[in-house]
Amino acid sequence: MIYHIPWIYVPVRNARAIWHQVTTSEFPEFAKASVLMRDRSKVETTIQAMQRAGPEALQVISDFDMTLSRFAHNGKRCPTTHNILDNDLLINDTCKKRIRELLNTYYPIEIDAARTIEDKRPHMVEWWTTVHDLLIQQKVRKDMLAQAVEESSAMLREGYKVFFDRLQENQVPLLIFSAGVGDILEEVMRQNHVFHPNIHVVSNYMDFNQCGELQAFKGQLIHTFNKREGALLHAARLGKLRERPNILLLGDSLGDLSMADGVAKPQHTLTIGFLNDQVDERKESYVNSFDIVLVKDETMDIPNDILNYVTPVLTK
Ligand SMILES: Nc1ccn([C@@H]2O[C@H](COP(=O)(O)O)[C@@H](O)[C@H]2O)c(=O)n1
């Protein structure tokens, strides 16, 4: 007989094994129905090893859009950093219409479980470059960005403050590696009072002319599926950060798994994947690729629980 229990994805073949897993866990929070794991005992051993090494050995590498920020709230989609620019303050109606058409064309390709990453890459380059060109044509104004963020429905995941503050208090570096728009994600964090000094951002930053109008995007384009190149390119700039051997990695796309490829000598890596959309189609590949998969979970509860084990509470 094959039993299925919520937090373990693979079928368990006998009642003794189930009893063992239910009763011997040091990590009761993994019993949440939204938590899937391919190999729970490996996850637990990794957390224990990270705990022994302490916060000095830890770094967190995270994607931003739909990972630190929410995918949905009260049944409505929340905007990505690109979508926040869809505002009358910044772009005209024709441009909005075109950007929405592009989203409807390319987002389904980005999340299509039947296509390979190699197949998706050229489409992503096309999507990002077309949208960036449109934004440049609109001469998006730097002084309007903060208001656009204020007026947007962007939200960080529930429990975000505990997450950001805990990392800052323990001086654990947080590397945000985003294919979104760097200026916008910084502003989202600023307005939520969590843009702490331990945060380093690698993203697509806007380049403004002397009048404060968008004239280009800086550096090499980052899209969902070229983060490995970005990680290697920025490795030198990240200096000491690269030397922290234990990594907690958070992402919402299989492309995010390469965000840690620039780390010098990784020892213990724990990957958490937020599975927000196309759950049934993508569940299997996410469980095969991430150590922990959080299904339609809009909270930071599991990352916070893990940080509880690995970093001490220093205030209150
Ligand atoms: N014009 C665009 C381009 C991309 N997006 C979405 O933004 C996300 C950014 O990537 P992360 O690395 O931060 O996850 C990506 O998943 C795209 O769906 C967009 O909304 N508009």
pLDDT tens digits along 212-233: 999 999 999 999 999 988 888 8
pLDDT at 13: 44
Determine if ligand 1 sits within 6 Å of the CB of residue 106: no
Predicted pLDDT of residue 243: 81
Q: What is the band of 10 on the pLDDT scale with cuts at 50, 70, 90?
A: very low
Q: Tell me: pLDDT of 123 over 70.
A: yes
Per DSSP, the residues of the chain read: --EEETTEEEEE--HHHHHHHHHS-S-GGGGSTTEEES-HHHHHHHHHHHHHH-GGGEEEEE--TTTTB-SEETTEEPP-HHHHT-STTTS-HHHHHHHHHHHHHHHHHHT-TTS-HHHHHHHHHHHHHHHHHHHHHTT-BGGGHHHHHHHS---BPBTHHHHHHHHHHTT--EEEEEEEEHHHHHHHHHHTT---TTEEEEEE-EEE-TTSBEEEE-SS---TT-HHHHHHHHHTTTGGGGG--EEEEEESSGGGGGGGTT-SS--EEEEEEEE-SSHHHHHHHHHHHSSEEEET--B-HHHHHHHHHHS-----
Q: Which residue has the tokens 């030397």?
A: 243
- pLDDT reading at 25 higher than 60: yes
**Residue 249 pLDDT:** 98
133 as an active site residue: the answer is no
CATH 3.40.50.1000 placement within the chain: 28-71+155-310
Mean pLDDT confidence for 257-283: 95
| 191 pLDDT higher than 50 | yes
- Under 8 Å between Cβ of 26 and 46: no
According to the model, what pLDDT value does residue 16 have?
Answer: 53
The CA 14 to ligand 1 mean position distance, Å, reads 43
Contact criterion met (CB below 8 Å) for 117 and 254:
yes
Mean pLDDT of all residues in 26-41: 91
Q: Using the structure block, give the residue that is written with the tokens 């020892």.
A: 267
pLDDT surpasses 70 at 136: yes
For position 316, what pLDDT does the model report?
Answer: 57
Answer for the pair 292, 35: CB distance below 8 angstroms, yes or no: yes
At residue 12, does pLDDT exceed 60? no
Q: Which amino acid is at 228?
A: R
pLDDT in tens, 137-178: 999 999 999 999 999 999 999 999 999 999 999 999 999 999
CATH 1.10.150.340 in the chain is located at 74-151
- Which of 18-22, 50-54, 206-210 shows the lowest mean pLDDT across its residues? 18-22
Task: State yes or no: is 63 an active-site residue.
Answer: yes
ipTM of this model? 0.98
Q: Which two tokens stand for residue 50?
A: 């990270």
Ligand 1, atom 10, residue with closest C-alpha: 179
Quickly state the pLDDT bin for 296 (edges 50, 70, 90). Answer: very high
In ligand 1, which atom is closest to the CA atom of 79? 20
pLDDT-based confidence at residue 6 (cuts at 50, 70, 90): very low
**Hey, what CATH class is 28-71+155-310 in?**
alpha beta
Does 240 have pLDDT greater than 90?
no
Ligand 1, atom nearest to 222 Cα: 12
At position 52, the amino acid (one-letter code) is R
Topology of domain 74-151 in CATH is DNA polymerase; domain 1 (1.10.150)
Prediction pTM value? 0.92
Per-residue model confidence (pLDDT) at position 58? 97
- Structure-model confidence comparison of residues 235 and 88, the more confident one: 88
